[in-house]
Amino acid sequence: MAVKFISTIKEDGLGGWFIELLDTLDKRVATCKDIASYEDAIEQMGDDYGGDIEVEWKKDDNVTIAHFEEVKIEIAKYQQRYNSEAMG
């Protein structure tokens, strides 16, 4: 059974955004200031479960449309790279 991770997009109060990554099983939290750090965190945390994870996405109510779209586009690129690598 996959372990559930919750990825929440949040405003950083400085005109930018970050992603809070929560492991719901052991309550670990990683604060990711960009997509590269998110990729690292989800891979490291997911390795503890053999990569058998499910990711639920959320966003705080105050996240701007521009920030939401930026994260969405970058995560889509990451997912595409990940799928390409997984297929060989």
Helix then strand then coil, in percent of the chain rounded to 5, is: 40, 30, 30
Amino acid letter, 29: V
pLDDT of residue 14: 96
The residue-averaged pLDDT of 39-62 equals: 94
Q: Where are the domains of the chain?
A: 3-87
Q: Where are the alpha helices (DSSP H) in 1-88?
A: 35-47, 65-87
Taking residues 25-33, report their average pLDDT. Answer: 97
Quick one: average pLDDT of 59-88?
A: 89
Question: What pLDDT sits at residue 1?
Answer: 82
pTM of the model: 0.89
| Region 6-35 average pLDDT | 97
Q: How is residue 83 written in tokens? A: 């799928």
Helix (H, G, I), strand (E, B) or coil at 48: coil
End-to-end CA distance of the chain: 25
